[in-house]
Chains A and B, each alone.
Chain A
Amino acid sequence: MAPTDPISQFNIYTLFSFGTVGADENGANGFELVFTNSALFMVASVVLISSYLILSTRGRGLVPSRVQLVSEIMYEFIANMVRTSAGNEGMAFFPLVFSLFAFIFVANMLGMYPYFFAVTSQIIITAALALLVMGVVIFYGVWKHGFGFLKLFVPSGIPLPIMFIVVPIEVLSFLSRPLSLSLRLFGNILAGHIVLKVFAGFVVSLSALGALGMVGSVLPFVMAVALTGLKLLVSALQAYVFAILTSIYLNDAIHPGH
């Protein structure tokens, strides 16, 4: 019988180990490089995205086939998003935004498959992606504008006394960006999986109670089906939100003056 515990789906377990590096003579305190189920689904996402995009465009059809059209629509969707949010200069970051969108989208969708692992339900993954974005924003902003990047915190056309209030708020909002970016994705995927598992678990435990339980399990079953639809929407939407926020933050790095 399937487990009804909603937490075990996030467990990370080792598939095989590449050995430990940097361990002391006791074999402790080292970094053991392990290939986990989480890593497996990261690799699966990357393989899936890359092979689909490359194989679907192999024909380079002037009139696109259906599979090629999907790749082209995805390309144009992200390209338009980056262009409208960050301008033509922002197109330098198009591969980054596209990779983020594709990775999060495919990882979310893979996570929707029963018994598959949702990579984006790991806060370390979403935090890494969010910090990557903020790192690129800060690095590019400082490299391009130097101290001018600090204009980001100083909205133009505001009298000096109000500056003392506005600037700390701006700084705070900038600092909270990686936090909200990573927690939004993490929270949505995690909560969705837990709720789905709880309702699916009700179906299993109620069915075990006999005929009456089976009748009672119809309601959570309907809920589980409805939640699956909702979670598919959320999975796509969160990838979109992550990508468009990345574009907007990159726009700040390119044009720091408000």
Chain B
Amino acid sequence: MASDTLTDTKVVGENADDPTIVVENGEVVDTEPKADTYAQTQADPYGQEDSVFPPFDSTTFGAQLFWIALTFGILYIIMSKVALPRIGEILEVRRDRIEGDLAEAERLRQKTDRAIETYKTELADARAKSHGIADETRNKIKSQMDEKRREVEADLARQIASAETRILKTKTDALSNVDQIAAETAVALVGKLTGKVSIKTARVAVNAVVKE
């Protein structure tokens, strides 16, 4: 197939730098230079001095340089102005979007954390408060009970004291009455036995006896 194309199309690879051809240039170029070298190439592609290994054929260099410059230049311009900025933009938009979403998620997470924190502190506050109220109530009740007990105790003490004084008074009264009774009894006894005796004398005598 490739050799078919070789016969169909003229080979660009004539050796223009070859000194033998340059010498001939005057005559050959005037008639039919392309056909001449073309025929030589066809006659024997190898071994002939004007047939070179295609990649080293310098006659093709000019056109190839032109086309590589043109095509690579266009490629560079398309890449740097259109294709690469577009892909870069797509990637950047995606990165921004992902970062934005992550930031939003982080923000929501912090919000949740704050809510949990608030809930916890409020719960702790409420607990402390309820403890306080319970303590306070307990203390109040206790103090009230204490006070009542004290009152009751004081009342009891007072009553005991008054009862004691009353008893004491009764006792002293009773005791003082004993002297009187003793004296009267003594008078009566002495009167029955000996005759009259004054109450005064009897009392003195009773007191002396009591003192003993």
Interface of A with B (CB < 8 Å)? 2-3, 5, 7-15, 26-28, 31-36, 38-39, 42-43, 45-46, 49-50, 53-54, 57, 60-62, 64, 68, 71-72, 75-76, 94-96, 98-99, 102-103, 115, 121-125, 128-129, 132, 186, 190
Contact = CB atoms under 8 A, between A and B. Distances in A.
B2 interface: yes
Contacts of A28: 25, 29, 33
A3 B1 contact: yes
Contacts of A190: 55
Given A10-B53, A68-B90, A102-B75, 19 more contacts: A5-B3, A7-B45, A11-B13, A12-B64, A14-B10, A14-B12, A26-B30, A35-B67, A38-B63, A38-B64, A46-B75, A46-B78, A57-B86, A62-B94, A75-B88, A95-B80, A99-B72, A123-B55, A125-B68
Contacts of B197: none
Contact of A129 (B10, B72, B87): B72
A53 B87 contact: yes
A125 B54 CA distance: 13
A35 to B, nearest CB: 8
Contacts of A128: 64-65, 68-69
A28 B26 CA distance: 10
B63 A39 contact: yes
B76 A95 contact: yes
B91 A72 contact: yes
B6 A124 contact: no
Please provide the 7 A-B residue pairs with the shortest distance between their CB atoms, ordered closest to farther. Answer: A95-B80, A39-B67, A53-B83, A10-B54, A13-B9, A42-B71, A3-B3
B169 interface: no
A103 B86 CA distance: 19
A8 B72 contact: no
Contacts of A95: 76, 79-80, 84
Contacts of A10: 53-55
Given A8-B6, A39-B64, A121-B55, A57 B75 contact: no
A119 to B, nearest CB: 8
B12 to A, nearest CB: 5
A129 B94 CA distance: 34
A3 to B, nearest CB: 4
A129 B68 contact: yes
Contacts of A64: 90
Given A53-B83, A54-B86, A124-B65, A96 B12 contact: no
Interface of B: 1-3, 5-6, 9-13, 25, 29-30, 33, 45-46, 53-57, 60-69, 71-72, 74-76, 78-80, 82-84, 86-91, 93-94, 97
A177 B46 CA distance: 33
B90 A60 contact: yes
Contacts of B13: 11-12
Contacts of B83: 50, 53-54, 57, 71
Nearest to B82: A54
A123 B12 CA distance: 16
Nearest to A123: B55
Given A3-B1, A36-B63, A57 B87 contact: yes
A78 B62 CA distance: 31
Nearest to A117: B2
A11 B56 contact: no
Between A7, A49, A64, the greatest number of chain B beta carbons within 10 A of the residue's beta carbon is seen for: A7
Contact of B9 (A14, A94, A96): A14
A61 B25 CA distance: 62
9 contacts: A8-B2, A8-B45, A9-B2, A11-B2, A28-B29, A36-B64, A49-B75, A75-B87, A75-B88
